[in-house]
Amino acid sequence: MLKVTLPRPSSDAVLRDGSAAIAQAFDDSELPVVALTRGEAETLRRSQPTLSPWLVVVSQVVVGVVSAAFVAWLVPRGEAVMSALYGAAVVAVPGALMARGATSPLSALSPLSSSVSMMGWGFVKTALSVVMLVLASRIVPALNWPVMLATIVVCMQTYWFALLWRGRAR
């Protein structure tokens, strides 16, 4: 009888069902964990500045008001300006609600509660944004959809600027 031997995969090979092989690869090359002293932790915390979500919400409101002023200068119709302001509200109001929920003391109790809080408030933010968009034509008479949507896009770009601000603060 003919016997065939197949080569065994190395421990760093990625197998479809071989999560044990992946774990073994990380166990072999894992660096030791070193606990930080209080001073080292404080230095690390100072080198990684946090950005307040309230600063992002305020900057969204400011960008929305500037967009509405630009629309008022470009198209001197009240409906277009109201559409721009409502577009800013579609971004800023749910963002403020999420910032309030995510920064509450209950969300800081543990990493699990923080994760659940972020997911839950993210869902609330998305749902409120959708509801505000559905109700837009009822709330703003003679709604100008292109102006509102353009303002939403401009206000949402504030998140990118927040990332840049955080990167420059280092």
* Mean pLDDT, rounded, for 96-117: 85
Residue 34 — pLDDT band, cuts 50, 70, 90? confident
For the chain, what percent of residues have pLDDT higher than 90? 44
State the DSSP code for 16.
S
Three-class DSSP labels, 119-150: HHHHHHHHHHHHHHHHCHHHHCCCCCHHHHHH
User: How do residues 85-103 score in pLDDT, each as one tens digit?
Assistant: 999 999 999 999 999 988 8
Answering whether pTM is above 0.75, one says no
Instruction: Say which DSSP state 3 is in.
Output: -
More confident residue, 50 or 79: 79
The model's confidence at residue 29, banded by pLDDT at 50, 70 and 90, is low
Average pLDDT estimate for 33-43: 84
Please count the other Cβ atoms lying within 10 Å of the Cβ belonging to residue 21.
15
Dihedral over alpha carbons 50, 99, 131, 163 (to 10 degrees): -10
The reported pLDDT for the residue numbered 12 is 46
Range among 16-25, 30-39, 105-114, 136-145 with highest mean pLDDT value: 136-145
Task: Indicate the average pLDDT of the chain.
Answer: 82
pLDDT in tens, 61-89: 999 999 999 999 998 888 999 999 999 99
Q: Looking at residue 91, what is its pLDDT? A: 96
Instruction: Give helix 145-156 / helix 53-74 axis angle, nearest 10°.
Output: 140
Q: What is the pLDDT of residues 160-169, one digit of tens each?
A: 887 787 665 5
